[in-house]
Amino acid sequence: MFEGLRAEFPEVGRVALRLRGPAIAREPLGWAFLSAAGAGFMVGGILTLVAIVLWPILFPPTEPHPEWLTFRSLTTASAAIAIGAVAIRARGPAALALYALYELAQILVQLYGRQLACRFDQNAPPPPLGLHFSCDLSGLIVDRWPIWLALAIGALASRWVIRESAAGANTMLRGAGVFAVAVTLATTAYGILTIATLSFRGPYFDVAFTAVYVVGELIAGALAGLLLRRAPSAAAVLVAVVVLSGLAATLPLTLAQMQEMPKIPLELRFINWAGVLAPLLGAAAILVARFRR
């Protein structure tokens, strides 16, 4: 029956094929991991830009809505679904397992800091409904259940939402993926340095650690731009725009802080503006590395 309908209405078949979503090329395991990470980064960033306009309309601050229904929870879940779908199409279960190990590695790195925070916050009030802040490894893994569920949903839905390409490379996703992973490494280094020096931190330690994060995003942009040299120009510009989407959260907060504290030392001003400076440098590095001859 389906073959008859396809023969009778060939245009409908072509439209349906396009609606299935983008084509993802099969890749070696390492590249597939980066492509999956890049897909999550791109989906999360694009949804951030869309939500800036639509979120206040769909969920006005004066109207009640569930505490778990937040802008961040929706973008994170959508990004994880994209990661699961692309991982399966690009390499299969091995790529999905590698990304799961990447998430677990981040949990392990965060474990000491979480345990330290728990010791200081023993008398803190319980978190809102639907949010849990465990202090042990198993609890931290269980607390990430929305991510594991979203990855599984993406993997199961990959057959219907993404087409598989026999040849080629996912160049845009690779570039976005190397940026996302490099920024995660820089952010992790910032967290480790901050926690490791709590007992003997000097006055300029925060400046140095913040510089690690800012320079890390600059390096991430340069690496992404080099990979994006094989991608269309529009792809590099789109990745840079997604990098800049982070300004939607950091710029208003930074401006508000500067209004409250207009006269602060230069080093504190650098720390306050780091959340704005980092994505600006990252996006600029992508474009310079991509288009520089």
pLDDT digits (tens, 9 = 90+) for 139-153: 888 888 889 999 999
CA torsion, ordered 50, 51, 55, 57, to nearest 10 deg: -20
Higher pLDDT, 165 or 267: 267
Question: Rounded to an integer, what distance in angstroms lies between the CA atom of residue 214 and that of residue 82?
Answer: 27
The residue-averaged pLDDT of 184-209 equals: 82
- pLDDT tens, residue by residue, 41-99: 999 999 888 887 776 676 676 666 666 667 778 889 999 999 999 999 999 999 999 99
Structural domain spans, the chain: 1-43+67-167, 170-293
Highest mean pLDDT among 21-30, 77-86, 102-111: 77-86
State the average pLDDT over residues 177-182.
96
Return mean pLDDT, the chain. Answer: 83
Q: What percent of the chain has pLDDT over 70?
A: 81
Q: What is the pLDDT of residue 131?
A: 45
Strand 163-165 to 23-25 pairing: parallel
Sequence-distant (6+) residues with CB within 8 A of 113 are 191, 195
What is the pTM (predicted TM-score) of this model? 0.84
Lowest-confidence segment of 53-57, 134-138, 139-143, 274-278 by average pLDDT? 53-57
Percent of the chain having pLDDT more than 90? 44
Q: How many CB atoms lie within 10 A of CB 146?
A: 14
User: Any residues with CB less than 8 A from the CB of 271 and at least 6 apart, and which?
Assistant: 206, 207, 210
Choose among 176, 215, 155: nearest CA to 45: 176
pLDDT of residue 130: 41
Residue 129 clears pLDDT 60, i.e. is over it = no
Q: Which residue has the tokens 């869309």?
A: 50
